[in-house]
Chain A
Amino acid sequence: MMALMAERGSKRWQGPLRVLALLPIITPPFVVGLGLILLFGRAGVVNQLLESWFGIAPTRWFYGLPGIVIAQWFAFTPIAFMILRGVVQGVAPSLEEAAQMLRADRRRTFFTVTLPLLKPGLANAFLVGFIESLADFGNPIVLGGQYSVLSTEVFFAIVGAQFDQGRAAALAWVLTLFALAVFAAQRAVLGKQNYTTVSGKGDAGVPMVLPDGVRRTIQGVALPWIAFTVVVYLFAFAGGFVKTWGRDYSLTLDHFRAAFSLEWGQFGLVWVGTAWNSLWTTLKLAALSAPMTAGVGLLIAWLLARNAFRGQGLFEFAALLAFAIPGTVLGVSYILAFNVPPLELTGTGLVIVLCFMFRNLPVGVRAGTAAFKQLDRSLDEASVMLRASTLQTLRHVVLPLLRPALIAALVYSFVRSMTTVSAVIFLVTAENELATTYIIGRVGNGDYGVALAYCTALMVLMSAAIALIQWLVGERKLGRRSARVELSASKVV
């Protein structure tokens, strides 16, 4: 819904929507959880209000299933949004125009033409969401309470008193099997339908404005959603500025100072704050892995979409595998694999970069596959006929038309790397401390203020990074007209 609003709604929503919808991605997994706790937890604002207004005693109702569901919902909608944005952009306007010429009003056109064409994107988004939820660690561990999920069980099987590798492995198998089942279901649903809508004949159609009923429904759902998201974040921000939540609400900058203070020392800037070390490390490693992940992910998507070779199904399955494996298992397996010569990488930054890459590869592949389904083959072929090598074709034809997928892959890889907890919790060392594990350490100590202050800083930083990537990679020039622009202009819709 948000994708439709972003791409087809009135202009003034588009900018803020794109920013806001991205927020839950750029936050470490527990921030949403913490923010929600600040709202709905036992000492949370909502519960306190309920108590003072209605006399309802605060309970721990939020912990457990409701909390996890809500938190995951927030966390994974933006990813679906990014995938679907590219898909909505790719729906050929002339198809909607054809439908309208065939006596379908906007409503029927929307439901019978536009929506079905969004199927690959919807299916992909569903798959991504489902598997993310399966493997999610950060939210259950903060909000789970008594409600146990497989990923946290794996974690405790290793870290807790048991240290039962067998149990961890068994649980991991179950998770993987689920993911495979979902994958198979998605293939069956999508079938071999042809969704080509970005073709070599410049589409001079104008995308249909959303039908009124649909538009109102979408606004009715998406806008409150976004408003609520903003509220959660405001609370999370506020947590960094408040002395002690639940008791002392006086504003202070102490937490920020503790984490990020700078001083002029003898040899120049001294990064005194406790948080700098982990921040630089994380930034460095994430920035290294993001382009590589995006590149490899799209390459794999291209291989799968445009070439038929033996073992293709197996290859696709392997690309998906990284998805299904819960972060904790991944982390552990990396330790076991890279702990012995000749590949003795544990304790280095390299293993973390590798871990990032492997973890985030599937989204690049998925975004790429969805985008490729919409790109007409004859464009590739025309390029080949015009003497371009495969590499040149990729660079000049495929990649520019794949920009939304590229952005999605880059952003997602970078941000996920910055915010991942579960996979790297076993891989950090004193030398290579990461932001997220540092924050968890603070939370463990009860230092909510500093933790939240750090989160705030992280989020600001990553917003800047995303804006930068968007600006660098640019929007995809499809050469489609918008409703109010003259023929001579060539701005993308």
Chain B
Amino acid sequence: MGIEFRNVSKRYGLASDSPLAVDSISFRIEQGTLTTILGPSGCGKTTTLRMIAGLESPSSGAIIMAGRDVTTLGPSERNVSMMFQSYALFPHMSVLQNVSYGLRMSGVKNADAAARAKDALSNVGLVGYDDRLPSELSGGQQQRVALARALVLEPAVLLFDEPLSNLDARLRREMREEIRALQQRLHLTVAYVTHDQSEALAVSDQIIVMHQGHIAQQGAPQEIYERPQNEFVAGFIGDAMLFSGEAGADGWVSLGPLRFMPRQSHKAGPVKVAVRPEAWLIERDGSGLAGHLEKAAYLGSYFEYTFRTMLGDVFVVSHDLTDVLEPGVMVTLGLADHGVSVVAAD
């Protein structure tokens, strides 16, 4: 069941000149794929997700699911399930009652509902917690309950609203892998909202980057990461730093003393060069951009260096653990052949 948005807009208030939360966006989510809607706070991603869910209706535009126009339909008429950021577990019901809620409301008999709920709980790895109240569970357990509750209804589309933001780092990785595995095993269509890029890159078939109510770019993770199409995406994804550069008539782009040939050609004029932290090459004596090491941080498998250069402060990640730099040294920086992209100056 694919999802399609056609020129969907959403206003905040009821007046016709209220600010737009979402401004005429269009995209497709293919059936059986996991699409992440990524963006900073306030970009409209949660609003978009809620419109897919049916909790909000668009001010204009159309939403199509499985070929059917569902724009005016409520959540129960679309075969959609959602996992809330706050989990929204009913505090006065036990785990089993929570998970079987959807089935009971759909008319399934209590005994059947309980059995299917127990199944769903064991699928997410929670056995023996049936009679606990949500307040008696840890964050990770609560999340699994919320997941089981959404899955037990066997929905065609599953929505996640920043599901991992309340978990610690290791649990986050485990859970995102579980979610991805689940999605692939059951061939679910999943829309996933997050502000965490690594999460997005790790689990998605498609990423939609949103910025101030618009779609900045949509595509496969590699494409988003390696070929950003505008300044926002270039800066947002992968912690790239943006520098002002100049594109020459011959196609070469110059960045300070450095020159390189970009992947796509740009017409002559000012451009922005986005360089990811891992795309800098550090040499002790060479030709290139002179840099003075201000700060160094050791993170186990790599170093984070901040250099002061004529372009400003440059943030570099180096996996070279043998040649450790001490603060204060002068180095030269060069560009690698990956991780550098050029976008038109906005």
A387–B76 CB distance below 8 A? yes
Give Cα A310 to B14, complex, Å: 10
| Cross-interface CB contact of A200 among B84, B136, B137, cutoff 8 Å | B84
Majority DSSP secondary structure for residues of A touching B: loop
A379 to B134, CA, bound (A): 13
Do A386 and B92 have beta carbons less than 8 Å apart?
A: no
Partner of A401 from the list B88, B91, B149 (CB cut-off 8 Å) is B91
Give Cα A82–Cα B92 distance, bound, in whole angstroms.
21
Chain B 12-40 interface residues, beta-carbon cutoff 8 Å to A: 14
Beta-carbon contacts under 8 Å, B123-159 to A: 132-137, 142, 149-150, 153
- A376 touches B (CB below 8 Å): yes
Residues of chain A within 8 A (CB-CB) of B76 are 384, 387-389
Question: Is there a chain B Cβ closer than 8 Å to A487's Cβ?
Answer: yes
Given contacts A389-B76, A389-B105, A396-B101, contact A382 B90 (CB under 8 A): yes
B236 interface residue (CB < 8 Å to A): no
Does B264 belong to the interface (CB within 8 Å)? no
In the complex the two chains form, what is the Cα distance from A203 to B136 in whole Å? 8
A387 in contact with B92 (CB, 8 Å): no
Question: A479 an interface residue at 8 Å Cβ cutoff?
Answer: yes
Chain A positions within 8 Å of B105 at CB level = 383, 386-389, 392, 396
Q: Does A373 contact B (CB under 8 A)?
A: no
Q: Choose one: B80, B90, B134, B137; the contact of A385 (CB below 8 Å).
A: B80
- Cα distance A388–B89 in the bound complex, in angstroms: 15
Which chain B residue has the least Cβ–Cβ distance from A487?
B136
B301 within 8 A of A: no
Residues of B within 8 A of A42 (CB): none
**Residue from B80, B87, B135 within 8 A of A204 (CB atoms):** B135
CA–CA, A381 to B146, complex, Å? 13
Q: Are A200 and B92 in contact (CB under 8 A)?
A: no
Residues of B within 8 A of A202 (CB): 89, 91, 133-137, 142
Within 8 A of B (CB), among A446-493: 476-481, 487-488, 490
- B149→A479 contact, CB < 8 A: no
Tell yes or no: A277 within 8 A of B by CB.
no
Number of interface residues of B (CB under 8 A): 32
Question: Within 8 Å CB of A200, what residues of B?
Answer: 84, 86-91, 134
Kindly state the separation between the CA atoms of A81 and B236 in the bound complex, as whole angstroms: 53
Pair A376/B88 contact, Cβ less than 8 Å? yes
> In angstroms, how far is the closest chain B Cβ from the Cβ of A383?
7
Which of B55, B91, B102 has a CB less than 8 Å from the CB of A387?
Answer: B102
Min CB gap B199→A, angstroms: 20
- Assuming A385-B75, A387-B106, is B92 touching A478 (CB within 8 A)? yes
Cα A424 to Cα B80 with chains together (Å): 53
Give, as a whole number of angstroms, the nearest-CB distance from A398 to chain B: 10
Instruction: Give the chain A neighbours of B153 by CB distance below 8 A.
Output: 386-387
Given contacts A389-B105, A396-B101, contact A381 B88 (CB under 8 A): yes
Q: A194 in the interface, Cβ–Cβ < 8 Å?
A: no
Task: Decide: A382 near B84, CB < 8 A? Known: A202-B91, A387-B105, A388-B105.
Answer: yes
CB distance from A216 to the nearest CB of B (A): 31
9 A-B pairs with least C-beta separation: A202-B135, A202-B134, A200-B88, A386-B102, A382-B88, A479-B133, A388-B105, A378-B88, A479-B135
A-B contacts, 30 of them at CB < 8 A, read A200-B84, A200-B89, A200-B91, A202-B135, A202-B137, A202-B142, A203-B91, A376-B86, A378-B84, A378-B86, A378-B88, A382-B82, A383-B105, A384-B55, A384-B74, A384-B75, A385-B55, A385-B82, A386-B101, A387-B102, A387-B106, A396-B101, A396-B105, A400-B92, A401-B92, A476-B92, A477-B91, A478-B135, A488-B136, A490-B133
